Amino acid sequence: MSLLTNTLDELVALRRDLHTHPELGLEEVRTSDLVARELTRMGYHVERGLAKTGLVATLSNGLSRKAVGIRADMDALPIAEETGLPYASKMPGLMHACGHDGHTAMLLGAAKAIAERRNFDGTVHLIFQPAEENFGGAEIMVNEGLFKRFPCDAVFALHNDPMGPLGQFSFREGPIMAAVDEALIKVVGSGGHGSEPEHTADPIVAGASIVMALQSIVSRNIAALDPAVVTVAAFHGGSASNIIPSSADIVVGIRSFEPGVRDEVERRIKLVSTNQAESFGLTAEVDYRRSYDATINHKAETEYARSLALRFAGPDKVVDMQRPLMGSEDFAYMLRECPGTYFFLGGKRGKDDYPLHHARYDFNDDLLPIGAAFWTELVEDYLRPA
């Protein structure tokens, strides 16, 4: 821990520099350059270009063929920052509102300690991933051969939780984050004058019926013990009080965990939309888009990380999540290819705490030495010399 304490000011400065210069997914050019430069200086072999701006830093020591991967995400969000901090974003309309600046900085802190101590036998792959928020950077990296080029026996990732007690580790075996999908429904009829609705096929009325009917899917078509969410997030149509439009658009967000539930929700959304529209003499076109899969933690790796956290932080700082979260995370694609686990690390300040994706959120720098030290401990324990 002393090594990390000595570099804390350096880590804070680095994190705040990243915060000042946020970049969207697949556009993390400056961030990637900075990370690659620091890792090369530490003695890592850096491979760049995965998922455009992603990179993997590799360090081997000893003779063991065992390997471990740790992932940090790097991208920011299209949110205008309102923190008023001296290191606030200089990029209009962009900010690190999810703490990926902190994730990147803490893994760089661990990288320095790992390289200087060399207290491991095997290979460590540090995966700096772009585009977690919207473009599925993890899936792109996997499809481009991430684990074929950098084989790992296990892979780990964490996310800060600004609402959780500082330094508290939260684990869950099995599903921890939901699959996320989107349905774009276009209701097509025929427009006309608002005073003569009998000469039209009104997409507003039909669309309203679809919106209401969609509410029955979770309550009447999905088992009560299978979590699912169907949210109508937008309903657009028309431009004036005396005009019935020819079409209307509905946007639906879907969350689920089980593949069978995911399939059934998709089937029901399509069926409900088309049948409701037809009952009014209209048609409905459903563009159903599957996004991230559910994040499913592996049993052995979850138990391992949890036991390590107990030794590292003590039993009062380790909790088991009783239920998964309905948010989504593209680390799911890495876990499909390699055993591993994803967990949360609390970063609550006690005052001025804002949730993730809030315009006034800021990563708690007090987490930097905790996260960096834990990643260092994990690498040195997982690759413990015989």
Annotated binding-site ranges for Mn(2+):
98, 100, 133, 159, 357
At how many degrees (to 10) do helices 29-42 and 100-117 cross? 10
225-247 burial code (b ≥16 CB/10 A, e <16): eebbebebeebebbeeeeebbbb
What is residue 363's DSSP assignment?
Answer: -
Q: Is 347 helix (H, G, I), strand (E, B) or coil?
A: coil
Q: Is 377 helix (H, G, I), strand (E, B) or coil?
A: helix
State the DSSP string of 118-172.
Answer: ---SEEEEEEEE---SSS-HHHHHHHTTHHHHS--SEEEEEEEETTSPTT-EEE-
Q: Identity (one letter) of the amino acid at 90?
A: K
Contact between 149 and 40 (Cβ < 8 Å): no
Query: Cα 355–359–361 angle (5° rounding)?
Result: 45
Give binding residues as ranges: 98, 100, 133, 159, 357
Whose tokens are 């899936």? That residue is 139
Q: What stretch of H or E contains 70?
A: strand 67-73
Whose tokens are 């932080």? That residue is 313
**Lookup: tokens for 321:** 């999540």
